[in-house]
Structure formats: C-alpha cells, structure tokens
Amino acid sequence: MILLRLISWPYVRKHLLRSILTTAGIALGVALLVGMRTANDSVLRSFNDTVDRIAGKAQLQVSAGDAGVAEDVLERVQAAPEVSAAAPVIETSVETGLAGQGKMLVLAVDMTGDRSLRNYDFDGGDEDVIDDPLVFLAQPDSLIITREFADRNGLRTGSKVSFETMEGARQFTVRGILKAGGMAAAFGGNLGIMDIYAAQQVFGRGRRFDRIDIGLAEGVSIEAGTAALQRALGGGYEIEPPSGRGKQFESLLRIYNTAVSISSLFSLFIGMFIIYNSFAIAVTQRRAEIGILRALGATRGQIRALFLGESAVAGLIGSTAGLGAGLAFARSLTGVTGRLMENIFGVPQNAQEVSLDPRFLVGALALGVVVSMIAAYIPARSAARVEPVQALQKGRYQVLGAGENRARRWAAAACVALGLACLWAGAYRPLAFAGYSLTVAAMLLLAPFLSLELARALRGPLRRFKPIEGSLAVDSLIQAPRRTSATVAALMLSLALVIGQGGVARASYESIRGWVDTTLNPDLFITATENIASRGFRFPASMIPEVTKLPAIEETQPVRTARVQFRGKPVMLVAIDMESLGRRVRRIVVAGNIEEMNRRSAAGQAVILAENLANLEHLGLGDMVEIPTPRGGLRLPVAGVIRDYSNQLGSIFLDRKVYIREFQDDTVDLFRVYLRPGVAPEEGRRQIIEGLGSRRRMFVLLNRDVRDYVLGLTNQWLGMTRIQVIVAVLVAVLGIVNTLTVSISDRRRELGVLRAVGGLRAQIRGAVWLEAAAIGAIGLVLGLSAGAVVLYYELQVIQRDVGGMPLAYIYPLGVAATLIPIILGAALAAAIVPAEAAVRSSLVEALEYE
Amino acid sequence: MIRLNGVSKQFDGKRKVVALDSVDLDVARGELVSIVGPSGSGKSTLLNLIGGLDRPSSGKIEIDGRDVASLSDDDLTRLRRDKIGFIFQFFNLLPSLTCVENVALPLHLKGLPRKEIESRARDLLELVQLGTRMDHLPDELSGGERQRVAIARALAFNPPILLADEPTGNLDTHTGAEILRLIHDLHDRLGATVLIVTHDSGVAQSCPRTVTLRDARIAGDARR
Ligand SMILES: Nc1ncnc2c1ncn2[C@@H]1O[C@H](COP(=O)(O)OP(=O)(O)O)[C@@H](O)[C@H]1O
Ligand SMILES: [Mg+2]
C-alpha cells in the first residue's frame, strides 16, 4: 500500500517517540498474556511430559486419589482377562541434597513385572557393566538414575546417593544408569528408580501402592478395559488413561489461570485505549493532510483503509515485541510458577524448559493486531468522514460536540440501569458478568464528561496556586477533551483494577488470617515434609501412641488429607477425629448447628463441607455427598458448612474412623498437637524430637511457623496477581506521556508566544507539569471511585466462580493512599521529557505559521 | 539602541540556507524604520534576531548597549519581556484567554501584583481603543481588533523597542491602515524605537527610514 509508505511513514518518523509509546501499550498487554500463559503452560506441559514418559506403555492407571490402593487390588486387576500386564507404582519426590539439583522424582516399581510396561534402556558406559540392573533392584538400597543426572553430578555405578526417608537420611547405591531420552528425560532427568517394597517402607506407604499401571490385552479398547476393571474392582477407584492425571493437575491450575487471564486481558484492554487515544489525536492533527488527500481524489474507503492499515502495522509491531518480551518473561516465571504450584497443591514440579504453543502464540499475535484495529476503528471512521473543504480551513476540532456528549450520557445511564437490573436479577452467572461489563462500559462512557467537569473544578484552585501556569494547564485540558479523555479513561480503568485487586487481596488476606487464627490453634504440628501441602511422605499409624504418651502432650489429632475425585474435581478429603476437633476448634459456621454437626460427624454419620465447596457445587445441609472409595463408595449427608481456606477447590471433613474403614489407609500426614498447660512450645518440640526424631524423618513446626508459612504463601499467591498492577500503572504512565507529548506539539505555537512575551523556562515547565499533574489527579479521582465499584464486582465473581469464598467488602484505603503519590509522581516524571521539549524547541519555528 | 555588526544567520537543514549575510545595521533610539524586500530575503530572520527569539550564527548584536550573545536564555527572556514588544502577522493570541488576560500575560509572567496587572491591562486596551471588548475571547473579535489586542500586549511594559513583522499582512487594506496609524501614533506618543517589516510600499513610505533587504544582504538604507 503506497499510501502507507508515502503518508504514514513520514508521520511516524516525525512522531517517533509517540509511535513507540502507542505500540508499547499493546506490547505490554501481549507480553503479560504470553508470559503468564506460557509459564503456566510450561508447568503443565512439563508435568504431562513426565507423566507420559513414566507411564511407558501403560494404557490405564488404577488409583484411589491420594489414599492409594491396597496390595490385594493388584491380584484382582491381574486376574482380569482384559489385562495383559499390571505393575504397581509408588511415586514421590525427594530433596537430593546435591547442590543445584533440587528435587528428584522417585519412581518405585516391582522389577519382576515392570519391564512389560516400561523400557529400561541401560547405559553400559565405561564402568563394569552389570548384566541386568533390574535384578539388583531387589536389594532395598538400590537406585537407578539417568545418564544426565549421573553426568551432572559425577556419579557412576556404585556411587552413593543419600536422601531423606521416613527413617531419616538413607544412603542408596547407584546400580544402574538409564540411557538418555525416553523415560530418562522425565522430570528434567532428575529421575530415580527403586524397588517398590523398599519404597513402601521408606516413604511410609504401609502395605499400599500409589497406583497400578495397566497394559491391556491385544484388541481390548480403552473403554472396554475401563469397563472390565470397573466390574472387577467395584466402584471407588479411578480408572483413567495416564493423561487423566494431567487433567487433574490442570483443574488445580485453573483457578490460577483464570486470575492470570483476566488480568492480562485487562491490560490489553488498557493498551487498546492508548491506541485509540493516539489515533484519535493523529486524525485531528492530520486533518489538513486528510483534506488534501481527499481533494486529490482519495475515497473515504481509502482514507479509512489508510488508518486501519496503520493500526494493523502498529498492532503487529506491538504484538511482536510483546511476544518477545513475554517469552523472556515466561522464562523467568516458569520456575516461580512451578514452585508456587508445588507449595500450594503439593504436586512435585520440575519445570525448567519453556514450552511454546505455536497456536497460542499466533493467536496472541493476532489478538494484538485485532485489538489495535478495533481501537483505531472509530478514529479511522471519523477520518473518513472529513470533508475536504472544512479540513483545509483553520478551526478547532478538539471540542466534543454537545450532541455527542449528550448521547454518551444517555448511553451511560442506560448501561447503569441495565447493570443494576442485572445485579438485582442476581444469581444467574452470565447476568452477573453482563452487569460487570455494563458498569465498566458506563464508567468509560462517562469518563470524558466527568474529566471535563473535574478539569473545570480544578481551574479555580490551580489559578489561585499559579495564575498563568495553572490556567494554561487546565485550559489545555478543557479545550481538548479528546486529547485527554482516553488517557484519563485508561488511567481510570487501570487504577480501578488496582483498587479491585488490592481490595480482593486485602479481603482474602484478612479472611485467611481470621481462619488461621481460629483453626490453626494447635501448639505444634508434626509433618513428614517441610511443605505442609505435600503428601509425598506419610507417618504410620503406629506413631500415634508414641506421640500421645509424651508427657508434655495433652492431646494430639492425627490428620490424613487425601485428594479424591469428587464430581470430577480433585477435592481434599480431610480425615480427623471430629469429636476432638469440635472440642478444640471453634469453627466459623456458615450453615447448620455447630453441636449437631460435631455430634453427627463424630459418630461417622455425616460429613462437614468447606464453604467454598458447598458454594461451587451448590450443596447444602442434608444433601447427600458421594465419595468414591475402594469399598464401593461412601454416601453421607452434609451436617454442616464451615468456613475453611485449606484448599482452593474445597474440602470435605470426615471422621478418621470412617476414612480408615473406607479406604483401608491408616497413615497420617500431619499431627496437630496440643500441649499441657504451662508447657512452652519449644519444650514440647524438644520432647517430640528426642522421643521420636532420631529414628524418623519428621518436622516439628511451632504454631507461629505454620501461621507465617500459610500467610506467606497467601501473600506469594496474591503477589503473582500483583504483577499486572505494575503493568497497569506502567500503561497509564505511557498514556500520560503520550497525551502530554501531543498536547505540547499541539500547543507549540501557544507556548512559543508565551516564551516570546517573556515566559521564563521555569514557567513553561510549570505549565506542562501542572497539566500532567491535573491529568493524574483527575485520573485518580475517577479511578479511585471506579475502583469501589470494580471491587464489588470482583468480589462477586470470585465468590461465584473462582473460590466460592465470600469475602468482606473493605475499600483498600492503604492502597489508595499509596497510589496517590505514585500516580502524581509518575505523571510528573512523564512530564519531564515533554516539558523539556517545550522549553528547548526553537522559538522561531514555534511562532511560524504553518 | 540597536546595533548589528556583521551579523549572519545560516540554517543548516537538508540544504544550507544563508538567511542573513554579514549585516550591519544601526538604529537609534526613537527611530521608526520600515524593512522591505522580496519574500525570503531575510526580513523576518533579521527581526527575530533583534528580538532575541533566535541567536545569530556569527556577528554581534547589541540591544540597549548589552551584547545579546553574552546573555543566558532566561536573561534573554527577561530582556525580551522588559525591553521589546512583538507584533506578529498572525496575532498569536492565546485563544483560551480573554483580551484582558492576553494583555495581562506578560505582566503575570513578571509576577506583578494582581491589582496593578488588572488596571494596567485595562489601560492598555483603552489605549488601543478596545475598552469595550475587555472580556471577549479572541475568537469573537475581528482581525483588526485582534491585532490591536496583540499590540496592547506588546506595550505591556512600555518597551523601548517595538518589533512588528508584517502587522498588516493578514488584514484588509482599510483595517491595515488603521493599525498602521495606531503604530505611528504610539511611536509618537511613547517615543519607542519601532521596526516594521512590510510588503506594502505605502507602509514603507510612511516611515522616515526604510531598509531594503535583498538576497540576505542590505541593499538599501534610505531616509527621507
Ligand atoms: N527555520 C528555518 N529553517 C530553514 N530555513 C529558514 C528558516 N527560517 C527561514 N529560513 C530561510 O531563510 C530565508 C529567509 O527567510 P525569512 O527571513 O523568513 O524571509 P522573509 O521574512 O524576508 O520572507 C528563506 O530562504 C527561508 O527559507
Ligand atoms: Mg517573513
């Protein structure tokens, strides 16, 4: 398109800084989207990749959530004619203790049968070759590692590797090394293979396996195999292809993903405003040029195409830059996200490689271009409408027509009315979202009008403060609402977002702290892993009396937390002595009678649900809950709903006796320990460590440590969503710089006159700075008020769809108070370059008539 | 009052343009000088240099005995504010300010007391016979009236030097003549040194001294 090169390119070159800033808005939005999504995808991919490689030829896997399967299940599975091979597996992750190596994924198998499902491709290397290392695996201290891991750590056959087990640190002997590739590439190469019966002992699995991997007989389909196994085992088991584990992990990640996607889209939306702003300005500035083109015979379509073409190019450049930045960002974010997921969900992660999804990347690129073109559509249309004769005359085009203003206000009023109607209609989810969108639309429609009114209101005080600079600054805003309104709107939106996020963060933190205060009241916690969420190690039931008999201890509550499939989602089953819990913890009741729910659940006749699960699954008092168990499924009524934040997808509380009976699993993840009155927590800890510690792996945590850990994790989680806040502020600053740059080039002549008749540099600078400060102040007033509304809707959305957790509405005054200096400071910083340009430009040129 | 010594001005754009080529000029206090010459001969450049809007490439400019080259940017601005009044072809009024406010602009910039500014601005508008248009915006005035506001603004500090670059160039003949009469009148009453750049030979003839520029040099300097 010749017009683009002839007409647009010189304009872009002349306004290079502004053009860069314009595309930067899109670039940031795309970068955030690509960065966060790619990091999440990489974590998920790496998880799936590991699952895939470890699954070998297994077509189905039999498991029962975290509870594991008993040994006799293996025989029943093997007996099915549809099954050609069945191999039990225990899988867990351990700290290697080797510098820079992090975790190792340990896969424990039964060497006699496992070869039928997995390929063990051994690497002879230079050492004494062992004929069949699998044979040596029968020795309980044998470990097979990968070539990659061996090379990285200088290990060879016969080397010793030690890691923590339930029996304290244990030494293992490397008895074989897997060739690189295939299974050996799982978990980034940090894979160790050991004997399953040894693993039962060292990882506290009792006489249970984590799952059974299955190969089907010739000609048996996955569906037929699943049906046959269901018949053979009865209900209560999950029978799924290996990919099902990926799906489960994905549903854990979903909450996080939703939060991330919403905020990336929000910043893209703000970027859209910047594009709109720039193009609206460009059209007014290039009016004469458009007029000449039209006079020379350009059609309206050509003019529109010219501007849309420009926006497409801007979008493409912006998204390409955003893509690059996003991928760089993803690189540093992948590890962080992986660790966060591991800490929160207890699923071991070793995501290092960034995996690229070409389709998503192309989509993001296209999204950037489309968003840019949508943003430029209205300016392009108004450019096409320029009448050549008018355009060649001098005049003011920056003023919004009175009619336009009225139409906007009507539209805004309609949006508000519809939004309120949606709110009133309430419960239905799409309506709530529609209400949110309508309210945002109303705010955007009203922004120009309100910013004009605010500018008028500012005129008096500013003129009193600095007569000349003040009125110059404010008049510039009043006279050119088009120039400022989009920036103010973008600023308003991003500040509203920050307030919304801040309010949500604050409310989440407050409610979690309230819950921590009431629920996490034991003096000590004993866990098998440093990370409370991880269930890789477990204590045997035999440890319970050993703990209870210690003199410092008044009471202890063994807890088993197991993730089970409930209505297709991995929810947490919390098995605990309900009688003791009812006595010790005053829980926050959402529905039901506290005495009754304690009594019935302690008697094993009912379960108690966490509020979020009840909300998400629409369960209430008296509803039946069906939990798959190896004994064929458990059906119990809901006796109560309590506030609980221990799991994002929700928890079901159940008496320990019932759990042991149904799952045949008496292991313990965590002891909640109450000390006798007068015993210092440190003293209690000393007794426990001395009484039991030397023999087993164990962490005794003080109440304070656990609280700090939980609240720290909460902060970390909220911190991830805080990234977009930074981006929002950055985008807003871009908008201000953009507007000021334009404002100054628009008013070159005016500022020139001012200097010609005696305006000192400081005075000119003052005028530009005041203008920036005024934009910032107007944006702040609008944004902080709009934030109050956005916060309300965000809390609604979170309650309904994401967490199921009602959060208190508290306006984050602290956040608002910090934003004021940040935004005003950013506005002034944004004014530095434009102000210097205004002061240093040639006076003669400024005064020249174009 | 104004002394130029071998002043040259060169614009280094894509092509080098010599807008003034070693010009010598002396203007005494209270003189009324017209500057004529074909378009592009350097008239505006000369006036801008004298007014301190721009600095020469070489040569020396003295205003009221001070060497302009030795002044800092802000000092130059102060000199401009206190000693020089400008009248432009395109008025260069600020559209958002009323007539009084436009006239008061330089007074505000100097930071005079508010009361004094107000009365001085009104006096100045009376002086240019715009007493009835005080609170109008520039858009509401005719070209001649706007130019008068600009003149009133130029007179804010009673400057000893008044520079006018084609002050009638954007006005019809009749209004142009009026403005010119006003300038003459002010020259007589205030005793300022006045330089008028013009195309109009009639305007030139009405001035006691006429400097002619051609191809960036002074081609004639006639007194009558
Ligand atoms: N800012 C500038 N950059 C480059 N050339 C300029 C500039 N200003 C003036 N000129 C050139 O200097 C010469 C004199 O200009 P000017 O003083 O405006 O002439 P006049 O006012 O007599 O018409 C012209 O050739 C003009 O093109
Ligand atoms: Mg000229």
**Cα of A403 vs its chain's centroid, Å:** 44
Residue A581 lies in a domain: yes
Quote the number of domains for chain A: 4
Burial of A217 (0-12, 13-18, 19+ CB in 10 A): middle
pLDDT of residue A255: 66
Residues A719 and A815 in one domain: yes
Same domain, A509 and A542: no
Residue nearest to atom 21 of ligand 1 (CA): B44
User: Are A627 and A760 part of one and the same domain?
Assistant: no
pLDDT for residue A559: 93
Same domain, A214 and A68: yes
Determine the atom of ligand 1 nearest the C-alpha atom of A842: 1
Q: Is B99 or A748 the better-scoring residue by pLDDT? A: B99
Can you tell me the mean pLDDT for A748-776? Answer: 85
Whether A781 shows a pLDDT value over 90: the answer reads yes
* pLDDT on residue A124: 65
Same domain as A614, residue A466: no
Of the candidates B86, B90, B96, the beta carbon closest to that of A849 is on: B90
Q: Is B83 on the interface with A (CB under 8 A)?
A: no
What pLDDT is attached to residue A99? 66
A contacts of B101 (beta carbons < 8 Å): 471
Global pTM?
0.70
Mean pLDDT of all residues belonging to chain A: 82
Least confident interval from A180-184, A209-213, A495-499:
A180-184
Residues A584 and A630 in one domain: yes
> In sequence order, which ranges of A703-806 are alpha helices (DSSP H)?
703-746, 748-756, 761-797
pLDDT at residue B46, as a whole number: 93
Note whether residue A425 is domain-resident: no
Neighbour count for residue A709 (Cβ, 10 Å): 18
Q: Which domain holds residue A132?
A: 62-240
Confidence at A429, pLDDT banded by 50, 70, 90: low
pLDDT above 90: residue A636 = yes
The proportion of chain A whose per-residue pLDDT surpasses 90, expressed as a percent, equals 13
Q: How many CB atoms are located within 10 Å of the residue A230 CB?
A: 14
Residue A556 lies in a domain: yes
Task: Give tens-digit pLDDT for B96-107.
Answer: 778 988 888 888
Instruction: Return the pLDDT at A6.
Output: 62
Question: Using a 6 Å CB cutoff, which residues line ligand 1?
Answer: A 844-845; B 11, 13, 17, 19, 37, 39-45
Q: What is the pLDDT of residue A720?
A: 61
CB A331 within 8 A of CB A171: no
Q: Which domain holds residue B181?
A: 2-223
Secondary structure of residue A109 in the 3-state scheme: strand
Q: Exposed/middle/buried for B14, CB within 10 Å: 0-12, 13-18, 19+?
A: exposed
Q: How far apart are CA A619 and CA A638, in angstroms?
A: 8
Asked if residue A469 and residue A555 are part of one domain, the reply reads no
pLDDT tens digits for A602-634? 999 999 999 888 888 889 999 999 888 877 778
pLDDT at A782 over 90: yes
Instruction: Decide if A440 is inside a domain.
Output: no
Quote the ligand 1 centre to B33 CA distance (angstroms): 21
Residues A236 and A302 in one domain: no
CB contact (8 A) between residue B97 and residue A471: yes
Number of domains in chain B: 1
Residues A807 and A837 placed together within one structural domain of the fold: yes
| CB-based contact A770:A488 (threshold 8 Å) | no
Same domain, A234 and A312: no
Look at residues A696, A723, A743 and tell me which one is the last residue of a structural domain: A696
Q: In the prediction, which pLDDT does A721 show? A: 60
Instruction: Output the CA–CA distances (angstroms, integers) from residue A557 to A35, A344, A523, A647, A849, in the order listed.
Output: 43, 22, 12, 19, 86
A-interface mutation test, from B103, B105, B149, most A Cβ less than 10 A away: B105
Q: Residue A398: what pLDDT?
A: 42
**Model pLDDT, residue A399:** 42
pLDDT value of residue A649: 78
- Ligand 1 atom 3 nearest Cα: B11
Contacts of A755 (CB under 8 A, 6+ apart): A764, A843, A846, B77
Atom 27 of ligand 1, nearest CA residue: B40
Specify the residue with its C-alpha closest to ligand 1, atom 5: B11
In angstroms, the separation between the Cα of residue A457 and the nearest Cα of chain B is 16
Q: Do B109 and A759 touch (CB under 8 A)?
A: yes
At A723 the pLDDT is 66
- At A392 the pLDDT is 53
Contact assignment for B77 to A758 by CB distance below 8 Å: yes
Judge if A81 and A194 occupy the same domain: yes
Is the pLDDT score of A176 beyond 50? Answer: yes
Residue A561 lies in a domain: yes
CB-CB under 8 Å, B82 with A758? yes
Please tell me if residue B97 touches chain A, with a CB cutoff of 8 Å: yes
Which of A476, A756, A849 has its CB closest to that of B86?
A756
Note the ipTM here: 0.74
Per residue in A183-194, pLDDT (tens digit) is: 888 888 888 888
Q: Are the beta carbons of B86 and A757 separated by less than 8 Å?
A: yes
Domain end among A398, A430, A462: A398
What integer best gives the mean pLDDT of chain B? 88
User: Is the CB of A761 less than 8 angstroms away from the CB of B77?
Assistant: yes
Whether residues A12 and A107 share a domain: the answer is no
Identify the CATH number of the domain in which residue B38 sits: 3.40.50.300
**Which one of the ligands is nearest to B217 CA?**
1
Is it the case that residue A126 has pLDDT exceeding 70?
no
